[in-house]
Chain A
């Protein structure tokens, strides 16, 4: 199918309309519709990826409405372009969407009762927006899709508890500021280049020699700042932890793995495709101090994660730290760093998904995600715990999970670029993650309170009743998506070479520095 790239968006879009309409007739129809449309979208996305891999230019293009593009500067029509990077990220978005949509049935029934007809359309629109961001080839269209994703995101979070409404308001303010900054930047770019097509902008910059243009530099800073706010880069992270920890389970499972990662994709897209390597890195204005901001971001986020006593909050701060990893991978300006960054987008999406899915199950079983309520969970739900710790080991970076390989490339990049501060901070945060996850393992596995008193009588007595440690695994509709996510974490790790090959093919034209050897 030639226009598979359009169907990636259209399936969820149609699905969401169908959910909204049929949901009014019967609420029970929403769940199957959303799963079906996600299956279809995943298929379209896989097809797009295969098309991009097979094409000699390594990209697929589709012009909406058939508006003709002028040759130079590229004109009005909205182009959807899936190069290998875009196609990979779109597949991650849709794949995560599929797994979460399978998982959604019970949590949605429980946490937002009788609102299925509201929830599922928003859920599918969110995926439409995020997948669109990954596939669009138009800078203004990107803004529209960012807003689609953001607005549905506000709805998806606020639909839960009252506490969520306050967090959403916070998110809404910051999100709007970020999006406005981005839009302002795009305005400057349009003034200067006369086009909104991403490749078109790059062509104009190259032909007209706009590398030193102050307008373009201001535009770059505005766009960059907007994106950093949207991706919750450290000083701008304030919206994220509350929003994700107070949102309904399914919402946090969908948003946490995707929203920040997709914005990092946007940053890479802007840096490489739109403004170009030369413009973005050779100008010393920002490329010198960005790695230092990254160092501060990772250290602060990791330390704040350490201070949390609640799994969802802890994971939220972990996401902020991981954002730092990926931003750093881009700004150390190095071939391996960028491979690491892009690979980390993919692997971080998978492992965050894994962790949030497991957390949802824990919340359902224990009624709390506070550290104190976790004791004895291994005997109660061993499979869920295995899923949780596969995600955790991947965050720490233990082989053969995918987290190890992305960290490997990031460290390699820091080494080749001689950015020792970045390497040291990666090590530091790795150690913090070890502490975070093994502290959780201790809480689950041992009968010791936080202050170090024995709670049981020794010999494996956890100080719990038989009832509390009885084997009671999660329902299959939640367990299967979790195990699926956990196996994806392992599979991407084991077959990391296949993914990295495509990333390398994508990066080949940009002539990034590879290091010369010592």
Chain B
């Protein structure tokens, strides 16, 4: 344990803030628990489904407990570090838990519990095949997600980022048919092309030239070193990093996400609304906040262009979402737009903007996973995938559709739901840097959100199904599907009322 330094509001400059470091293995435990879970899952196998799912649940619960147990330490102003192994002489594989990291890890691991319960209902309800493989790789993905959340330098985050790309491939191609092949190809094509051809050169560039090749690119101590490069190089690096983390779904590298919707709904829900895409935006956030740092960003022009790309992504994807009839595809495009918000917050490079970005990771996760859960529950109960088929469903599945309405409102950003808070801080961040046009974009986009999300609930509740003969036997999905979606819907309220610790973790409040 190194010496404690008092943190006070008197010294707001980053250089003087050397937080209190605690050496602890808990981040590593959170990373390894899913691996143990995976071994258990494989050992139980198809023959003992109850035991297998117990292993998944136990792994998820233990992981969440470990992650949650670290929250008080972080709230006290300390950070937790765990040195795993030395990648290069001067670059360690270092796990570090700080505010944004723990916030992301909490969201991912808590929602993993919900998704596991949901997946049990969904997969059994549809009699899916190869569930052992499904749960195994699901656990592996969560392990990689923890790795990303707790990474302390660029190379570490890159390693876990790649691990996530590979471990989600069997999930995306779960159906093992023609569509799965197309989806899988798009998925890996985009992700590996960007990470190997854009990200890797940018990474080596930093590691070779900074500090005479002895740089760690640590997120805490090496922030802003990139300012050593000339302005054009900085801009090129910024572009390579932003687009290189294609999991963030920034246009024009977004097509993998709708393609990945061929996966079973629990995968779409947790990975393509929470874990995978949030890993992308989290990496982008790290690059902006902790690699470049707001001081370097303030001096360069390129960042304005990235802001425009983010805004364009928000608006274009919302417009595309309007025209989608397939509910999951509509949600996918909505996700792309919401990810744009987070990238936008990072590019704002103001304290409130970046804090808003971190908050939006949590707020959007809770809202969007509810929507996906509902989409899946509707599919399990009725086999319907298209918005136009959902007339009259509100009466038959009141809980599901009610939750859908709440999720929609949270994504749109209405109080008293979580989505409001993050949007508020994003707008404040934009005003901080005198970018009023960004606020206009946010407003227009919220309006578009209303147009593509609310009609789903409206159709379900207020439009009567003409072909309905009251006896087609549609009722709520199995309880294992309904309970998680009800809980996450409640979560949207909880996030609004208990937002104080979140604000502190995101660095907006001290």
Contact = CB atoms under 8 A, between A and B. Distances in A.
Contact of B201 (A411, A446, A496): A411
Contacts of B86: 497
A372 to B, nearest CB: 15
A456 B181 contact: no
A427 interface: yes
B180 to A, nearest CB: 6
A494 B201 contact: no
Contacts of B200: 408, 411, 427
Contacts of A32: none
Contacts of A462: 176
Interface string B29-49: 000000000000000000000
B181 A448 contact: yes
Interface in A438-462: 438, 441-442, 445-448, 452-454, 456, 458-462
Interface of A: 336, 393, 396-400, 408, 411-412, 415-416, 423, 427, 430-431, 434, 438, 441-442, 445-448, 452-454, 456, 458-462, 494, 496-497, 500-501, 514-515, 517-518
Contacts of A399: 158-159, 162-163
Interface in B187-216: 188, 192-193, 196-197, 200-201, 204-205, 207-209, 212-213
A427 B193 CA distance: 9
Given A431-B197, A497-B88, A453 B176 contact: no
Contact of B129 (A453, A459, A514): A459
B75 interface: no
A448 B178 contact: yes
Given A397-B196, A427-B196, A427-B201, A456 B166 contact: no
B89 interface: yes
Interface string B170-188: 1001011110110011001
Interface in B241-283: none
A497 B197 contact: no
Contact of A408 (B166, B197, B204): B204
A442 B184 contact: yes
Contacts of A459: 128-129, 175-176
Contacts of A431: 192-193, 196-197
Interface string B111-129: 0000000000000000011
Main secondary structure of the interface of B (DSSP, over half): helix
B316 interface: no
A442 B189 CA distance: 13
6 contacts: A399-B162, A430-B196, A434-B188, A460-B176, A497-B88, A518-B209
A458 B175 contact: yes
Contact of B89 (A434, A446, A453, A497): A497
B166 A393 contact: yes
B261 to A, nearest CB: 17
Given A415-B201, A427-B197, A458-B177, A445 B208 contact: no
Contacts of A448: 176-178, 180-181
Which of B169, B178, B197, B207 has the most CB atoms of chain A within a 10 A radius of its CB?
A: B178
Interface in B148-172: 158-159, 162-163, 166, 169-170
A412 B178 contact: no
B177 A456 contact: yes
A458 B159 CA distance: 34
Given A399-B162, A459-B128, A442 B201 contact: no
Interface in B432-482: none
Closest 4 CB pairs of A and B: A460-B129, A399-B159, A427-B197, A446-B176
A412 B85 contact: no
Contacts of B185: 438, 442
Contacts of A430: 196-197
